[in-house]
């Protein structure tokens, strides 16, 4: 009668080994920016400037459209995994290890290919004011362990889809300074599948595993601010701020119980199965409150000459917003050998992070510009004991190259390839209530470890057109 971390917050906040930036961000919202490892926020070359620095819209004449498609090939593999059941203990006491969890100890937990679209549109109302709309994907992931993985009680499968709708207005103050303000409307949709050790109620761990299919969605709102300063004809600097977005993600948890086979057994077995069914019904509500973090970006662009341009960006993110999270069920799960309450707790204790990117562009010929960049992205995970099996995140390096080709005076195509190297990681998973600072919690109370090797490749293409 115990369930380990059915956590919608893990989903909303990332649950993603395929996140291209540290924590849970997808990592790139423009192919032209991707080609410089996202160092070119001050460039304002096309309508995707709405995401990186919306004040750059004042640099675009007329009406501009940019549509991008990123093909992501993630690789996240775990190996050497171990898992152990625990036995009941007095309230407040650490539960001792009872024995190993049987199952597979290695495998790949990501899809082979994921397609992520982005779209931007700007329109110059007059010489001073430009309006724009961005529709892009800030978070997107899908992870799945084998159904018989030794880590199945931590998480078995996840899927996350988010979309931001970002209307923005930019004002040209004078020839040197522009500012912008926008609204962030963010929709999140998440699902997960997680196994539960119902067999513990009958003294046979792993014999009657069940699982929950959990899904939920929500709209959250925030804002973005930007400033761009043309220091001179060769140098431009900018600041971009994206606010936190608060979510109350609500949905349903639908249970499949392996113990249902004992309902007609009579005696203690039948009574135990009936109790499990009442505590873990066919369908119940589930909700969690989380806050996605604010970020502040400082960036610059400098033209060395007619052919060579250099870019730089430093971004700070308040990932410490994800220090704790609580998932609350509609049904209180009391009874049996352990009183569990109605809440699953997470205690990742993430830290604030920074990302530094450097890039450049070389005008090879009249229609063709070549671009490249490198970035270092700090992970918010403080140590192995706080690394979630659902987010085995670690520091990463971006290596990007690409270019832009002008089809004519109105149209161009950006293309980019990125390889993202993520440092090897280890997760020490401990879902016992006491280690989470609680006396009761909805959890299968298992412990485990795993090693992770992760990387990703991104191929992007973007079409730009000025009307």
User: What pLDDT score was predicted for residue 111?
Assistant: 80
Instruction: Convert the pLDDT of each residue in 220-255 to its tens digit.
Output: 999 999 999 999 999 999 999 999 999 888 999 998
Q: Taking residues 146-150, report their average pLDDT.
A: 93
Among the listed ranges 93-107, 196-210, 358-372, which one has the minimum average pLDDT value?
196-210
- Kindly tell me if the per-residue pLDDT of 296 is higher than 90: yes
- Kindly tell me if the per-residue pLDDT of 8 is higher than 60: no
53 found inside a domain: yes
Higher per-residue confidence, 53 vs 193: 53
User: DSSP labels for 95-138?
Assistant: PPEEEEPPSB--EE-B-S-EEEEEEEEEEE-SSSEEEEEEEE-S
C-alpha triplet 32, 34, 38: angle, nearest 5°: 105
* Rounded distance between C-alpha atoms, residue 14 and residue 325, angstroms: 13
Among the listed ranges 4-13, 173-182, 243-252, 383-392, which one has the minimum average pLDDT value?
4-13
Confidence band of 10 (pLDDT split at 50, 70, 90): very low
384 found inside a domain: yes
Burial (CB count within 10 angstroms: exposed 0-12, middle 13-18, buried 19+), residue 122:
buried
1 found inside a domain: no
Instruction: Convert the pLDDT of each residue in 111-145 to its tens digit.
Output: 888 888 999 999 999 999 999 999 998 877 777 89
Backbone phi, psi, residue 59, to 5°: -85, -5
Q: Rounded mean pLDDT of the chain?
A: 89
* Rounded distance between C-alpha atoms, residue 53 and residue 134, angstroms: 12
Instruction: Convert the pLDDT of each residue in 400-443 to its tens digit.
Output: 999 999 999 999 999 999 999 999 999 999 988 888 888 888 88
434 found inside a domain: yes
User: What pLDDT score was predicted for residue 16?
Assistant: 38
User: What pLDDT score was predicted for residue 434?
Assistant: 87
User: What pLDDT score was predicted for residue 338?
Assistant: 52
Look up the CATH number of the domain holding residue 204: 2.40.160.60
User: What pLDDT score was predicted for residue 21?
Assistant: 67
Among the listed ranges 98-112, 134-148, 184-198, 336-350, which one has the minimum average pLDDT value?
336-350
**Residue in 280, 249, 254, 276 with CA at minimum distance from that of residue 265:** 276
User: What pLDDT score was predicted for residue 336?
Assistant: 52
* Rounded distance between C-alpha atoms, residue 26 and residue 406, angstroms: 28
**Number of domains forming the structure of the chain:** 1
361 found inside a domain: yes
* Rounded distance between C-alpha atoms, residue 131 and residue 122, angstroms: 6
User: What pLDDT score was predicted for residue 4?
Assistant: 34
**Residue in 183, 184, 192 with CA at minimum distance from that of residue 217:** 192
Q: Taking residues 311-338, report their average pLDDT.
A: 85
* Rounded distance between C-alpha atoms, residue 163 and residue 310, angstroms: 31
Is-above-0.85 flag for pTM? Answer: yes
- Kindly tell me if the per-residue pLDDT of 3 is higher than 50: no
Instruction: Convert the pLDDT of each residue in 352-369 to its tens digit.
Output: 999 999 999 999 999 999
Among the listed ranges 92-106, 181-195, 244-258, 335-349, which one has the minimum average pLDDT value?
335-349
Confidence band of 272 (pLDDT split at 50, 70, 90): confident
User: What pLDDT score was predicted for residue 104?
Assistant: 95
291 found inside a domain: yes
44 found inside a domain: yes
288 found inside a domain: yes
- Please state, for a pLDDT cut of 90, what percent of the chain lies above it: 60
Q: Which domain holds residue 404?
A: 8-466
């Amino acid at each position: 009668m115990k369930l380990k971390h059915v956590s919608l917050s893990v989903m909303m906040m990332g649950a993603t080994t395929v996140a291209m930036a540290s924590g849970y961000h997808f990592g790139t919202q423009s192919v032209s920016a991707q080609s410089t490892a996202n160092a070119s926020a001050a460039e304002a070359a096309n309508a995707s400037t709405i995401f990186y620095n919306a004040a750059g819209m004042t640099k675009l004449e007329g009406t501009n459209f940019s549509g991008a498609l990123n093909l992501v090939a993630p690789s996240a593999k775990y190996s050497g995994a171990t898992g152990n059941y625990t036995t009941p203990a007095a309230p407040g006491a650490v539960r001792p290890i009872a024995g190993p969890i049987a199952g597979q100890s290695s495998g790949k937990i990501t899809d082979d290919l994921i397609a992520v679209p982005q779209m931007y549109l700007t329109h110059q109302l007059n010489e001073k004011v430009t309006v724009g709309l961005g529709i892009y994907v800030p978070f997107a992931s899908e992870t799945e362990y084998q159904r018989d993985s030794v880590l199945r009680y931590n998480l078995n499968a996840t899927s996350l889809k988010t979309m931001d709708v970002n209307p923005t207005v930019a004002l040209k103050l004078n020839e040197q300074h522009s500012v912008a303000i926008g609204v962030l409307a963010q929709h999140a949709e998440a699902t997960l599948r997680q196994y539960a050790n119902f067999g513990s109620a009958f003294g046979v761990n792993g014999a009657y595993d069940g699982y929950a299919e959990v899904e939920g969605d929500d709209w959250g709102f925030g804002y973005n601010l930007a400033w761009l300063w043309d220091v001179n004809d060769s140098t431009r600097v900018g600041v971009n701020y994206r606010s936190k977005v608060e979510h109350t993600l609500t949905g349903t948890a639908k249970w499949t119980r392996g113990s249902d086979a004992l309902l007609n057994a009579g005696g203690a077995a039948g009574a135990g199965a009936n109790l499990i069914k009442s505590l873990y019904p066919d369908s119940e509500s589930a909700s969690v409150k989380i806050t996605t973090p604010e970020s502040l970006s400082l960036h610059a662009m400098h033209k060395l000459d007619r052919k060579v341009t250099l870019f730089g960006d430093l971004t700070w993110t308040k990932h410490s917003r994800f220090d704790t999270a609580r998932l609350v069920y509609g049904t209180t799960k009391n009874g049996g050998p352990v009183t569990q309450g109605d809440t699953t707790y997470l205690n990742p204790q993430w830290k604030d992070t920074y990302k530094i990117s450097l890039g450049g562009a070389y005008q090879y010929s009249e229609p063709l510009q070549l671009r490249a960049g490198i970035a270092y992205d700090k992970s918010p995970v403080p140590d192995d004991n706080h690394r979630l099996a659902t987010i085995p995140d670690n520091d990463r390096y971006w290596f990007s190259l690409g270019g832009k080709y002008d089809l004519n005076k109105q149209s161009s195509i950006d293309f980019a390839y990125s390889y993202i190297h993520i440092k090897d990681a280890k997760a020490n998973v401990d879902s016992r209530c006491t280690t989470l600072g609680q006396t009761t919690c909805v959890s299968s109370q298992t412990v485990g470890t795993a090693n992770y090797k992760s990387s990703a490749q991104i191929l992007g293409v973007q079409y730009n057109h000025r009307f």
